[in-house]
Homo-oligomer: A and B are copies of this chain.
């Protein structure tokens, strides 16, 4: 039994030490370690147990209280007997690099709870690719926990497309978030599955924000973007209000899209992940040498349709390239 099989077994059993080891490997950029990660993911994708966890992405502007909301949501889910893995993606901000990690440290998580795992993931690095570690971490945690919560900051063209890792996408805003409305209407950001106005303890402004969001959704439905059926919830992480309703809405969304919906989304996400990974690895020159993007997309599609480990397939493709420097 190889080391990777041991790690995979530990991940499936919810062994926090081995899960942490898997995530350390994912954050490591050394080519030999990255290859091991690809192998680990292939092992984890074997069998019907793989990735059973419900993947929930929570995104929104900074300052709306996402971290606190994730903390109370995780506590609520634990109360209901679900195991929970949390990834907070740190977009390596310009000035205050450590802000998110700081928030994270303030979260009141019980370190002795075996059914709860929390991790910040740094995604900095010009050439490393931002989306890859997030995808890989979510795949690992989804093998270990019932629910995987992915917290990302940003509105609009964030480099980690949270839709590509989540079965259910939640947009979190606070009262008075006019810009978010504009982003939705202008199509700069995708329409989430659920909208949450946090800081509902701010009174009437929260109710107003919720009703603004509802009209924005109605407008979008009129122009044919989205079905306008997304729930808009009010929460207060501070007062622990609306959190049970949020948990319920997450389950409802997953029920509504059904198993086929979940599979379709995950396939879409895996395609994006694999194609992006290959493009970053071999560049446009490599893509051309390997038969062009249309050809590669076809190969990736076929591999995803056969439920093969997609990253292994593109890794094999990259391995077919030899580079000579003259």
Query: Which residues in chain A, 226-274, are within 8 Å of chain B measured between CB atoms?
Result: 226
Tell me which of A94, A191, A293 has the highest count of chain B C-beta atoms within 10 A of its own C-beta: A94
Query: Which residues in chain A, 87-120, are within 8 Å of chain B measured between CB atoms?
Result: 91, 93-97, 99
* Pairwise interchain contact A322-B321, C-beta atoms closer than 8 A: no
Query: Which residues in chain A, 142-201, are within 8 Å of chain B measured between CB atoms?
Result: 153-159, 174, 176-180, 182-183, 185-191
CB distance from A172 to the nearest CB of B (A): 12
Confirm or deny: A306 has a beta carbon within 8 angstroms of a beta carbon on chain B: no
Q: CB within 8 A of A289: which of B128, B158, B225, B323? A: B323
Q: Which residues of B are found within 8 Å of A190, using beta-carbon distances? A: 94
Q: CB within 8 A of A326: which of B63, B99, B320? A: B320
Confirm or deny: A18 has a beta carbon within 8 angstroms of a beta carbon on chain B: no
Confirm or deny: A282 has a beta carbon within 8 angstroms of a beta carbon on chain B: yes
CB distance from A182 to the nearest CB of B (A): 4
Confirm or deny: A1 has a beta carbon within 8 angstroms of a beta carbon on chain B: no
Q: Which residues of B are found within 8 Å of A293, using beta-carbon distances? A: 126-127
Confirm or deny: A10 has a beta carbon within 8 angstroms of a beta carbon on chain B: no
Q: Which residues of B are found within 8 Å of A31, using beta-carbon distances? A: 288
Q: CB within 8 A of A153: which of B153, B174, B188? A: B188
* Pairwise interchain contact A321-B320, C-beta atoms closer than 8 A: no
Q: Which residues of B are found within 8 Å of A96, using beta-carbon distances? A: 186-187, 223, 225
Name the residue on B nearest A179 (C-beta). B179
Q: Which residues of B are found within 8 Å of A288, using beta-carbon distances? A: 31
Confirm or deny: A280 has a beta carbon within 8 angstroms of a beta carbon on chain B: yes
Q: Which residues of B are found within 8 Å of A185, using beta-carbon distances? A: 62-63
Tell me which of A31, A96, A285, A287 has the highest count of chain B C-beta atoms within 10 A of its own C-beta: A285
In whole angstroms, how far apart are the Cα atoms of A182 and B95 in the complex? 13
Tell me which of A187, A284, A288 has the highest count of chain B C-beta atoms within 10 A of its own C-beta: A284
Which 4 residue pairs across A and B have the least CB separation, nearest first? A283-B283, A95-B187, A62-B186, A63-B182
